[in-house]
Amino acid sequence: MSVRKRTWTILGGGVALALTITAASAAEDVATIMPGCRALMDDQVKTSSIFDAGYCAGMIDAIGFMGDALSWQALALPKEIRQNFCISAPLTVTIKQAVRIVVAYIDARPDRMHEPFSQLAIEALRTVWPC
């Protein structure tokens, strides 16, 4: 696959992922997702919270993947996209570490609990690991 075609494929996938995350966020607000994140972060995942913990981990993993994909395709993207979505986390970072970062970021901003979870998670990860 050519570099140009791969770039557009990744960009299209990133856009689709962003739209999916945004649509999911409209239905799932911060208050709904945070209990699952806290259970995962504190190793308190029980049968009753397994879905919520998995949902949190999946959202954060998808955001990290999208942000990383944008970092290695940065030359083909406008600067605004790189600045707003690019995340350059080290390869050794675990989902649990990323969840801790997102939870701490959201906890420090209680006045923003009405905003989409994905938006705050992107900000949190981008703050710690900018490109």
pLDDT in tens, 46-71: 877 789 999 999 999 999 988 887 76
pLDDT in tens, 13-46: 444 455 455 555 455 678 889 999 999 888 888 8
Burial class (CB in 10 A: 0-12, 13-18, 19+), 73: buried
Token code pair at residue 81: 């996209």
Q: Which are the contacts of 71, defined by CB distance < 8 A and separation ≥ 6? A: 82, 86, 87, 88, 131
* Strands (E) located in 3-102: none
Q: What is the pTM of this model?
A: 0.73
pLDDT of residue 20: 52
CB neighbours of residue 129 within 10 Å: 19
